[in-house]
Amino acid sequence: MEAEAADQPDKAPQACVSCRKQKRKCDKLLPSCSLCIRMSRPCDYSETAPIPTSEDFAAMRQKIADLEARLEGRRSEGGHGPMRSFSASPGIGGGEAAFATDSNATFPAAFFLDAEVFVEAQLTIPRPNIAVPPEVAATVGVSILDIQEIVDRYFANIHTWLPFVSKKRMQLTLSNPTMELTLDLALLLLSMKLVIQVPQSGPQSIRSPLYNLSKGYANMVESSGLMSLQLLQANILVAAYEIGHAIYPAAYLSTGHCARIGHALGLNDRRHAPQMLKKRTGAWGELEEMKRTWWATMLLDRYVNLGSSGHPLATDDPVLYDTLPADDDLWDEGQITTSEPLYVSSPTNVKAGAFTRTCQATHLLGRLVRLLNDRLLDAPMRFSEAIQLHRTLQALANLLPNDVHRSPERYGTPLAICYSSLMHLCDPFACTESNGGHRTVEETEMQTIAIAGMKSVAADVFRFSQLLHVGMTSNPAAVSPLVGDCIYFGASIYAWLAHETGLREMGDAYHILRKVLETMASRWAVGQQYLTLLDISKESLYADSQFV
């Protein structure tokens, strides 16, 4: 008995001041309770109330303002309470489920109205004290085993091509016996369950009840005034789901919304932008997760603009001294990397991990989108930039095939982005008329590069597709939807070559690429949309019987 008593941790006689103030359950562990440790705040077990701080006074002023607003709302609404429902139409980015939340958000407006005053007054951003809706909690899982199954499937599949949620930190969260299902954690888990879902058939299965619930609940969480990294991560996964299933215009709008959340959090510039997330020294894994989350935001923002030049990006290009993500395997294991960090300006031939390659391709894709949208560059500068961009993209693309052979599900995305970028770059510059007809030395050189590049990249895409197809058939759940544009554009080029040359092998290559898209369509509905576009192009432009 004495041995058992010695094993029991020491406990305080009463709950700590923070838990008493927030009316939260306190496990009274010494020297700090579990909740205070998780919230990274000092734990005080004194019986007397501490002297109010400036944060306490700020919170009190906020509560008074909320009470005044509620009273004013009751007068204007004829006695109705301060609760309202948030819902939206299924086809416009909302959900069928309606959630009740406090109409008087506790988020301090000073953060946006005058960030300097917000910092100087030491104002804080409180977390809303709202319970997770029962429907959301039940969908995520009634037990930790249900939640663990969602998380395991997510990391086994989506994480392979979009590794921006910390695997180690999620494992620590789920292993905590006092884990709370907070608003944003529930939203992240709900979005994980959504993105691993494979719709059975038809557009109705794509805009499923789970999709509508995820969109509606995301609106409710944001309306409550909660801003966090997990909120952004959940929105990224919803946007990835919409891109993968061609849910437009929702996909385009969602990627822009992710950018706005990232800007609000300050992830775009951790040095100068106002910060909602605390800067904690030594938290390497957390800082790495923030970095990866912002790179994932930039990736989707650029990818969603691939097929529609003229739309501006929602995120700025990274600066040359911005660092690229660390080694994927070390980050998954929670080990601090000791290698020299890679920067955006680092040469592409330096050895790097899969997501680092994706980020390098993302940076080049951003340069491509801005070049194609630019209307101010004079002709020589425009063609010189195109030539340099083509060289850099080709150099990165040449490094990746061996890695794709080894791990197509991890390295397929960066190579597909490189090939897509090269084809989208060559396409407008291959024609003198679309170039402007200046006939400068730079224009002639770029046109020569573009004409030859269209054929050579299409051949590269054909070989690449064979590797992808093996992975798609063996493990369809891990297929990246971001390879779709590459396969589609390659098929379009082969359709054109079959029409122009009449060569049978060109038509055969076209049909093989169609097969790859058909296989992809069993996982992501965007594959079927690309097939439909190919059919439309064939009927309107390539009615030749060579490849009918």
Q: What is the DSSP string of 474-533?
A: H-GGG--GGGHHHHHHHHHHHHHHHHHH--HHHHHHHHHHHHHHHHHHTT-THHHHHHHH
Does residue 337 lie in a domain region? Answer: no
Residue 387 buriedness (CB in 10 A; 0-12 / 13-18 / 19+): middle
- My answer on whether 277 and 415 are in the same domain is no
Predicted confidence at residue 48, as pLDDT, reads 61
Backbone φ and ψ for 425, nearest 5 degrees, come out as -75, -45
Contact 246, 526 (CB under 8 A): yes
Does residue 129 have a pLDDT over 90? no
Q: Is 142 exposed, middle or buried (0-12, 13-18, 19+ CB in 10 A)?
A: exposed
Question: 22 or 531, which is more confident?
Answer: 531
Residues paired with residue 100 on neighbouring β-strands, in sequence order: 85
Task: Examine the domain organization and report whether 38 and 111 are in the same domain.
Answer: no
**Per-residue model confidence (pLDDT) at position 479:** 94
Asked, as a colleague might, if the bond just before 31 is cis with ω within 30 of 0, I would say yes
Q: Percent of the chain at pLDDT above 90?
A: 57
Number of neighbours of residue 122 by Cβ within 10 angstroms: 11
In the listed set 241, 259, 289, which residue is the last one of a domain according to the structure?
289
The mean per-residue pLDDT over the stretch 315-334 comes to 91
Residue 328 is assigned to a structural domain of this protein: no
Q: Measured between alpha carbons, how far is 495 from 416 in angstroms, rounded to an integer?
A: 19
How far apart (Å, rounded) are the C-alpha atoms in residues 153 and 172?
17
186, part of any domain: yes
Specify the pLDDT at position 202: 66
Query: Is the alpha carbon torsion for 518, 520, 523, 529 positive or negative?
Result: negative
Q: What is the mean pLDDT of residues 200-209?
A: 80
For the ranges 45-49, 180-184, 198-202, 342-346, the one whose mean pLDDT is highest: 180-184
Question: Is position 299 within any domain?
Answer: no
The residue among 71 and 415 whose pLDDT is bigger is 415
In this structure, is residue 71 part of a structural domain?
A: no
Query: What DSSP state is assigned to residue 99?
Result: E
Instruction: Examine the pLDDT at 139 and tell me if it is beyond 60.
Output: yes
- 46, 87: one domain: no
- Do residues 162 and 273 both lie within one domain? yes
User: In which band, very low, low, confident or very high, does the pLDDT at 82 lie, cut at 50, 70 and 90?
Assistant: very low
What average pLDDT does this structure show over 107-117?
88
Res 104 pLDDT > 90: no
3-state secondary structure (DSSP) of residue 100: strand
- Does 91 lie in the same domain as 44? no
Judgement on whether residues 187 and 278 belong to the same structural domain of the protein: yes
Q: Is pLDDT above 80 for 477? A: yes
Q: Reply yes or no: is the peptide bond before residue 249 cis, omega within 30 of 0.
A: yes
Instruction: Output the pLDDT for position 81.
Output: 34
Which CATH number is 33's domain given? Answer: 4.10.240.10
In terms of domains, do 461 and 534 share one?
yes
Predicted confidence at residue 526, as pLDDT, reads 96
pLDDT greater than 90 at residue 442: no
Q: Are residues 538 and 408 in the same domain?
A: yes
User: Do 222 and 180 fall within a single domain?
Assistant: yes
* Average pLDDT of the segment spanning 461-480: 92
> Of 544, 496, 494, nearest to 514 (Cα)?
494
User: Per the domain annotation, does 349 fall within a domain?
Assistant: no
Judged by DSSP in three states, 467 sits in helix
Determine, yes or no, domain membership for 295: no
Residue 334 domain-assigned?
Answer: no
Regarding whether 167 and 104 lie in a shared domain, the answer is: yes
Same domain, residue pair 32 and 87 = no
pLDDT score, position 86: 33
Q: What is the structure's pLDDT at 71?
A: 55
Domain match, 184 and 257 both: yes
Q: What pLDDT is stored for residue 517 in this prediction?
A: 97
Q: Is the pLDDT of residue 445 over 50?
A: yes
How many CA atoms, within 13 angstroms, populate the side-chain half-sphere of residue 179? 17
Report which of residues 338 and 383 the model is more confident about: 383
Which percentage of the chain shows pLDDT scores above 70? 83
Q: How many domains does the chain have?
A: 3
Angle between helix 144-161 and 167-175 (nearest 10): 180
Number of Cβ within a 10 Å radius of residue 268: 18
3-state secondary structure of 439: coil
Q: Which residue has the higher pLDDT, 19 or 402?
A: 402
Domain boundary residue among 256, 289, 322?
289
Domain with 44 in it: 2-51
What integer is the mean pLDDT of 314-328?
92
Residue showing tokens 């790495």:
288
Q: What is the reported pLDDT for 10?
A: 78
Cβ(240)–Cβ(300) under 8 Å?
A: yes
Alpha helices in 202-249 (DSSP H): 202-206, 209-223, 229-244
**3: confidence class by pLDDT, cuts 50, 70, 90:** very low
Tokens of 440: 């400068």
Given a cut of 60, whether residue 396 has pLDDT beyond it is yes
Q: What is the mean pLDDT of residues 169-192?
A: 94
Average pLDDT over residues 235-255: 97
When the pLDDT of each residue in the chain is averaged and rounded to a whole number, the result is: 85
Q: Which residue has the tokens 């070989």?
A: 463
Mean pLDDT of 273-279: 82
Please give the residue that has the higher pLDDT: either 303 or 273.
303
In the block, residue with structure tokens 């907070």: 182
What mean pLDDT is predicted for residues 246-275?
Answer: 94
Question: What mean pLDDT is predicted for residues 303-315?
Answer: 90
User: Is there a contact between 226 and 184 (Cβ–Cβ < 8 Å)?
Assistant: yes
**Measured distance between the N- and C-terminal CA atoms of the chain, rounded to whole angstroms:** 84
Q: How far apart are CA 364 and CA 299, in angstroms?
A: 11
**pLDDT (0 to 100) of residue 375:** 81
